[in-house]
Amino acid sequence: MAKLKAARATDVPSALPPEPDIAADLDGLAAAASSCSCIRAGAAEATTTAAEGRPLVVIGHRGKGMNTLVSPDPRLRGDVRENTLRAFNDAAASHPAVAYVEFDVQVTKDGCPVIFHDNFIYTQQDGEISGKRVTDLDLDEFLSYGPQREQGKAGKPLFRKLKDGRILKWDVRSEDALCTLREVFHGVHRRVGFNVELKFDDDLVYTEDSLTCILQAVLKVVLEHAGDRPIIFSSFQPDAAQLIRKLQDKYPVFFLTNGGTQVYADQRRNSLEEAVKLCVAGGLQGIVSEVRAILRQPSAVAEIKDANKLSLMTYGQLK
């Protein structure tokens, strides 16, 4: 029976095989799931099938972890800029157990899939801070923010808006430029697979046509450049998760859910039971749940795994 748990990459014992069998572990994710535990500060997602003698598989969250700008831990504030080629390659090089990296994909208004988590991107000019929606930018403008690959070229300073409304300068210790999905396929070590999170704004309403257009832009890049690299699709957006499954059957699709730890207008996002229904109805392979939802309702593990034959991963931290 496969078991899933979470860990920071640097906490994983070093006595592991140097090259995990990524394809075999992807098959395991699509075939089975079981008990879960938490991720410390969201630095990584991890699965293990130790009961079957297979190695721990770590999924690096946004590469080496998200940049939590107000954290007292300097590693979480910004060891390396999240969602960049450097973050992904540093995660892959940090430990042989890191077999996947997770990142957030949005599509610019001119149809290019780019890697960025937040819905809005902020900068400062003449002392004034302003923000723009990422999907309202064309590719050239998006790439003009932050560090530039071209030597001697200065980009717009990056700021980040926190959940409490504060906007802080987005400083990290190890910088890198923003990037596109295509660049990730060509610039990240082929040893690691990708967990491609399809990112959508909770405050926007998407028609099926608009979702199809966005997802087809992402799929075009994936199908042209993935080769034999293992891919997992995931999304908090229920319609997008089901639609990406309809548009392709080559790669597994996971539905991301807070499992009721937050309440949304869309009831499909408000419980593990609703997540299961959505996965079964849409032919999805599994669920990625906020860990507290699982710990509040441990009986859900058997319901997800045994009764519905879905895989289960967790994210988040205990508070």
- Check residue 44 and give its pLDDT: 52
- Check residue 244 and give its pLDDT: 98
- Check residue 10 and give its pLDDT: 43
- Check residue 96 and give its pLDDT: 84
- Check residue 14 and give its pLDDT: 40
- Check residue 57 and give its pLDDT: 65
- Check residue 41 and give its pLDDT: 30
- Check residue 274 and give its pLDDT: 97
Q: Assess if CATH 1.10.540.10 describes domain 59-117+175-251.
A: no
List of the chain residues with pLDDT < 50: 1-43, 46, 48-52, 54
> 217-234 b/e with 16+ CB inside 10 Å = b?
bbbebbeeebeebbbbbb
Q: What is the mean pLDDT of the chain?
A: 85
> Which of 4, 7, 6 has its CA nearest to residue 48?
4
- Check residue 42 and give its pLDDT: 38
Instruction: Write the pLDDT tens digit of every residue in 48-78.
Output: 344 445 455 689 999 999 999 988 887 777 7
- Check residue 307 and give its pLDDT: 83
Q: 172-175: which pairs have CB atoms within 8 A and are 24 or more residues apart?
A: 172/67, 172/77, 172/78, 172/79, 172/80, 172/81, 173/74, 173/78, 173/79, 173/80, 174/78, 174/79, 174/80, 174/81, 174/86, 174/90, 175/81, 175/86, 175/146, 175/147
Rg of the chain over all Cα atoms, to the nearest angstrom? 19
Entry pTM: 0.84
